[in-house]
Amino acid sequence: MSMTNPTRHPIDHVVDDDYLAACDRAWAVVRDHARSILADVDATPYEAPDGHRAYCLRWLRRAAAMPTDEARPWRGPGGVDGAPDDDAAPTLDLLAHAAGEYPAFLRGETSGPAILLAGEGLRLWYDYFGSGNGLYRPLNAAAADTVIDRLRAAGGSRLLEVGAGTGGATGHLLAAWPDDVADVADVEYTVTDTSPRLLRETREHLADRPPDHVRLDFRRFDLDLPPDRQRVAPASFDVVVAVNAIHNAADLGSSLRSLRSLLRPGGALVLSESICGPGALVHQELILNLLPLPADAYGRLSRFHSRADWLAIFADAGVRAEVLVNSSGPELVMTAVVTPGDPR
Ligand X SMILES: C[S@@+](CC[C@H](N)C(=O)[O-])C[C@H]1O[C@@H](n2cnc3c(N)ncnc32)[C@H](O)[C@@H]1O
Looking only at the bridges linking them, the beta strands covering 333-343 and 263-274 are antiparallel
Residues 6 or more apart from 12 whose CB is under 8 A from it?
A: 326, 327, 328
Kind and range of the H or E element at 268?
strand 263-274
Q: What is the DSSP code (8-state) at residue 87?
A: G
CB atoms within 10 A of CB 80: 19
Minimum Å gap between C-beta 141 and ligand X is 12
Please compute, for residue 269, the number of CA atoms within 13 A of its CA located in the half-sphere on the CB side: 24
Of the candidates 37, 58, 55, the residue with the CA atom closest to the CA atom of residue 100:
37
**DSSP letters of 120-141?**
HHHHHHHHHHSTT-TTTHHHHH
The verdict on 274 binding ligand X (CB under 6 A) reads: no
Complex with ligand X: residue 41 or 56, whichever CB lies closer? 56
Per-residue contact string for residues 172-211; x = within reach of ligand X by CB under 6 A:
---------------------xxx--x-------------
Q: How many residues bind ligand X (CB under 6 A)?
A: 20
Complex with ligand X: residue 69 or 217, whichever CB lies closer? 217
Complex with ligand X: residue 130 or 156, whichever CB lies closer? 130
What's the full length of the chain, in residues?
A: 344
Complex with ligand X: residue 222 or 238, whichever CB lies closer? 222
Task: Tell which positions 216-255 bind ligand X, by CB under 6 A.
Answer: 222-224, 243-245, 248
Find the binder of ligand X among 10, 112, 156, 165 (CB under 6 A).
165
Task: Tell which positions 104-163 bind ligand X, by CB under 6 A.
Answer: 129, 162-163
The verdict on 273 binding ligand X (CB under 6 A) reads: no
Residue of this chain nearest to ligand X (CB atom):
165
| Residue ranges binding ligand X (CB under 6 A) | 129, 162-169, 193-195, 198, 222-224, 243-245, 248
